[in-house]
Amino acid sequence: MQFPVKSLSLAVMAAFLPSLSAFANEPLANGKLIDQEKCYACHAKKTGFGNGDMIYTRSDGKVTTLAKLNSMISVCNSELRLDLFPEDESDVSKYLSQQFYKFKP
């Protein structure tokens, strides 16, 4: 019996495409998701607060401009090999900027 590869791959595409296209138009939602999935746990552990948001709001934070935020995201992304796409870096930057740092876009 032949395995129904074609219908399987269509089913897989159908399962993934809606979520991809939904996030493509939602940089903030995508950025938040990335932060929660890839960044939050390590920051929570590193700061010792048990709260991964606090690294972004600590008073001695080094990030004081949007440019520094973007370079910090790049450092975390490449040093730690998180493999974010450039669009994802930009989405996470938009989210962190809007949610925590309040930089002007």
The dihedral over CA atoms of 47, 54, 70, 83, expressed in degrees to the nearest 10, equals 60
Among 27, 30, 91, 92, binds ligand HEC (CB under 6 A): 92
Among 27, 34, 94, 97, binds ligand HEC (CB under 6 A): 34
In angstroms, the Cα distances linking 26 to 3, 42, 76, 92, 96 are 37, 24, 22, 11, 14
Please identify, among the stretches 1-9, 10-18, 20-28, 71-79, the one whose residues bind ligand HEC according to the rule CB under 6 A: 71-79
Among 33, 44, 66, 82, binds ligand HEC (CB under 6 A): 82
Residues 7-26 that bind ligand HEC (CB under 6 A): none
Does position 63 interact with ligand HEC (CB under 6 A)? The reply is yes
Cα distance between residue 98 and residue 62, in whole Å: 17
Cα distance between residue 7 and residue 28, in whole Å: 33
The type of residue at 1 is: M
Applying CB under 6 A, the residues found at the interface with ligand HEC are 34-35, 38-39, 42-43, 46, 55-56, 61-63, 69, 72-73, 76-77, 80, 82, 84, 92, 96
